A and B are shown apart, each in its own frame.
Chain A
Amino acid sequence: MNTLISLRSEILKTKRTASLYFTLIGAAVVPVVFLLNVLGDGLDSTKKDPLNAIFKLLADMNGLAFFPWFIILICTLLPQIEYRNNTWKQVFTSPQPKVNVLTAKFATIHLLMLLFLVSTHLFMFLAIVLANLVDPTLGLFKHSLNGQTVLINAANSYVTMLALCAIHFWLGIRFRNFIVPIAVGLALWLAGTLLVLEYKSSTAYYFPYSFQAISLSPKHQPHLNQVAWTSVGYAVLVLLLCFFDLRSRRMTT
């Protein structure tokens, strides 16, 4: 109950910030790019099951770049609300256990992550309907959508990104200067992606910044379950470290 009160407070703080627009715009990028591509160049009609192929493409593009980057930015920007307004001290002089504050902030980020995933799929569906309206010969709805696969892909994206989310949540809370988490994110995301796609390295199974690319690599893909569990393990560990770090810090600004 107390955590819910803290969560309500955290959600209220995002009112009139760009976080909601940022989430929806971020979620719309891939569907919009898809739609523009269809309108400009048409669609490869030789594919057997274009509807499910399009959703796979969406999952791959979002999973590799847009979703991880959305997480890195949102984890950095949300704690900035406290730094920019000089409000950490007010938060910690209010009668909330520190663990509740931390949980509520983390939950707010997860609500936005879930909103991103749900809205990007809805936008994609909308883009497909529009594409089919513009060119009914595409026959995009001749096949039924494999909802279970779409759901599994989305769930994999979410779970494999938990480690990265926890790391950037900690960095976002730890550093007043938002450039630090973004720079760390950029460098490690690039390194992690290269590890999987270019070097096909086995160390990628343990490197959280590689997890977004695992499902795209035929060599790594069979280990997706193991990576998902590793991601959960990292997330729990990093959140614990984040809590102890926050508890021991001077909250005077």
Chain B
Amino acid sequence: MSNTPIIKTTGLSYYYSKGAQTLFDINLQVEKGSIYGFLGPNGSGKTTTLSLLLGLLNNQKGDIEIFGQHLHQNRVDILKRIGSLVEAPSLYGHLTATENLELYRSVYGVPKGRVAEVLQIVGLEETGKKVVKRFSLGMKQRLSIALALLPNPELLILDEPSNGLDPAGIIELRELIKKLNKDQGMTIVISSHLLAEVEKMVSHVGIIFKGKMLFQGPLPELHSFQEKGSRIFIKTSDNETAYQLLQDHQPEIVGEAVSIAFSGIRQVAAVNRTLINHNLDVYLLHPKENDLEQLFIDLTTAQS
């Protein structure tokens, strides 16, 4: 994976109306070849940011560079290299799956065979003459993904792509995204309000909340945050004494337990020895890792 940013925004801000600022100084940086999970609760500004990246909204403040080119000066050239799915499926209900793709085939300048190829990728090759309005929501979502893949894009932007998919569909989508990234080196930006859904596939994460970026970086960096936030919960015959004995571990009294900062599994045995050596009965010694979901909630609620 190269470190060249394929998307770079500088000081991006956006107002839908006066006094209602939606984005504040967003500096997004998506590296080439990465799978970037763009996370945030509903209404945090994900779709607004992605709409700005795709030119659906006019840039008000800040700068957007994609493939090293300014978006608004090179909109058409940039869009030729991007596949996108923004929010709900955007399809013509009175046309078949093939016809929906055929509409955009010449616009993207791709060969006729590509239509059948992308339909096969998303498992819709046998929908025949069935028109899209008769599709289930999951089928529509898969067709939208096929449409995004039609130009064989260098950059794929997917806004909440698992909406409407059943669990099997979500797993298939995840595998597809990983495959596209691995086999074709496709850079993928995927937004979601569910960290658990994307943490299994992303290499980088950006967390946005109330229009502000709270975190941006590689997934391992988020994991180190996670470890820093993990604690060991301890219940003993004398929690006051245990609290005094564990002063080096940043102890806290939590209800009927003492919690200390967790720094590794060997620490559990050491703490146990310390407590027993001071004649304390140990009833509970439970390392509780702060999962990414909890960290996401912590990061977003700490700001609210």
A residues with CB within 8 A of B: 5-6, 8-9, 12-13, 15-17, 81, 84-87, 89-90, 92-97, 248, 250-252
**How distant is A154 from chain B, measured CB to nearest CB, in Å?**
31
List, in ascending order, chain B residues with CB within 8 A of A87's CB. 90-92
Q: List 21 A-B contacts (CB under 8 A).
A: A12-B99, A12-B102, A15-B94, A15-B99, A16-B94, A81-B92, A85-B90, A85-B92, A87-B90, A89-B51, A89-B87, A89-B90, A92-B54, A92-B56, A93-B55, A93-B79, A94-B107, A94-B108, A96-B107, A251-B57, A252-B57
**How distant is A21 from chain B, measured CB to nearest CB, in Å?**
13
**How distant is A93 from chain B, measured CB to nearest CB, in Å?**
5
List, in ascending order, chain B residues with CB within 8 A of A89's CB. 51, 54, 56, 86-87, 90
- B window 131-155: CB within 8 A of A: 131, 147
B residues with CB within 8 A of A: 47, 51, 54-58, 75-77, 79-80, 82, 84, 86-95, 99, 102-104, 106-108, 131, 147
The number of residue pairs between A and B whose CB atoms lie closer than 8 Å in the complex comes to 80
Cα(A8)–Cα(B82), bound, Å: 22
Q: Are A94 and B104 in contact (CB under 8 A)?
A: yes
Q: Are B106 and A251 in contact (CB under 8 A)?
A: no
Cα(A90)–Cα(B103), bound, Å: 11
List, in ascending order, chain B residues with CB within 8 A of A8's CB. 106
Given contacts A12-B103, A15-B99, A17-B94, whether A92 and B55 have CB atoms under 8 Å apart is: yes
Q: Are B88 and A86 in contact (CB under 8 A)?
A: yes
Cα(A17)–Cα(B95), bound, Å: 9
Given contacts A89-B56, A97-B76, whether A9 and B103 have CB atoms under 8 Å apart is: yes
Closest A residue to B48 using CB positions:
A252
Q: Are B106 and A5 in contact (CB under 8 A)?
A: yes
**How distant is A246 from chain B, measured CB to nearest CB, in Å?**
12
Closest A residue to B79 using CB positions:
A95
Q: Are B90 and A90 in contact (CB under 8 A)?
A: yes
Cα(A90)–Cα(B82), bound, Å: 12
Q: Are B103 and A13 in contact (CB under 8 A)?
A: yes
List 14 other contacts, CB 8 Å, given A84-B93, A89-B86, A90-B147. A5-B106, A13-B95, A15-B95, A86-B88, A86-B89, A86-B90, A87-B92, A89-B90, A93-B54, A93-B55, A95-B79, A250-B56, A250-B58, A251-B57
List, in ascending order, chain B residues with CB within 8 A of A90's CB. 90-91, 104, 147
**How distant is A119 from chain B, measured CB to nearest CB, in Å?**
23
Closest B residue to A98 using CB positions:
B75
List, in ascending order, chain B residues with CB within 8 A of A81's CB. 92
List, in ascending order, chain B residues with CB within 8 A of A251's CB. 56-57
Cα(A58)–Cα(B108), bound, Å: 45
List, in ascending order, chain A residues with CB within 8 A of B84's CB. 93
List, in ascending order, chain A residues with CB within 8 A of B147's CB. 90
**How distant is B67 from chain A, measured CB to nearest CB, in Å?**
13
Closest A residue to B157 using CB positions:
A93
Q: Are A252 and B56 in contact (CB under 8 A)?
A: yes
Cα(A16)–Cα(B129), bound, Å: 12
List, in ascending order, chain B residues with CB within 8 A of A9's CB. 103-104, 106-107
Q: Are B88 and A95 in contact (CB under 8 A)?
A: no
List, in ascending order, chain A residues with CB within 8 A of B55's CB. 92-93
Cα(A245)–Cα(B75), bound, Å: 18
List, in ascending order, chain A residues with CB within 8 A of B76's CB. 95-97
Closest B residue to A5 using CB positions:
B106
List, in ascending order, chain A residues with CB within 8 A of B90's CB. 85-87, 89-90
List, in ascending order, chain A residues with CB within 8 A of B56's CB. 89, 92-93, 250-252
Closest B residue to A88 using CB positions:
B90
Cα(A102)–Cα(B99), bound, Å: 21
List, in ascending order, chain B residues with CB within 8 A of A5's CB. 106-107
Closest B residue to A94 using CB positions:
B107
Cα(A251)–Cα(B104), bound, Å: 18
Given contacts A85-B93, A95-B80, whether A6 and B88 have CB atoms under 8 Å apart is: no
Cα(A250)–Cα(B47), bound, Å: 13
Q: Are A252 and B51 in contact (CB under 8 A)?
A: yes
List, in ascending order, chain B residues with CB within 8 A of A96's CB. 76, 107
Q: Are B57 and A94 in contact (CB under 8 A)?
A: no
**How distant is B61 from chain A, measured CB to nearest CB, in Å?**
15
**How distant is B202 from chain A, measured CB to nearest CB, in Å?**
22
Q: Which of A5, A86, A95, A248 has the most CB of B within 10 A?
A: A95
Cα(A84)–Cα(B93), bound, Å: 9
List, in ascending order, chain A residues with CB within 8 A of B80's CB. 95
Cα(A13)–Cα(B75), bound, Å: 24
Cα(A84)–Cα(B147), bound, Å: 19
Cα(A171)–Cα(B158), bound, Å: 32
Cα(A236)–Cα(B163), bound, Å: 43
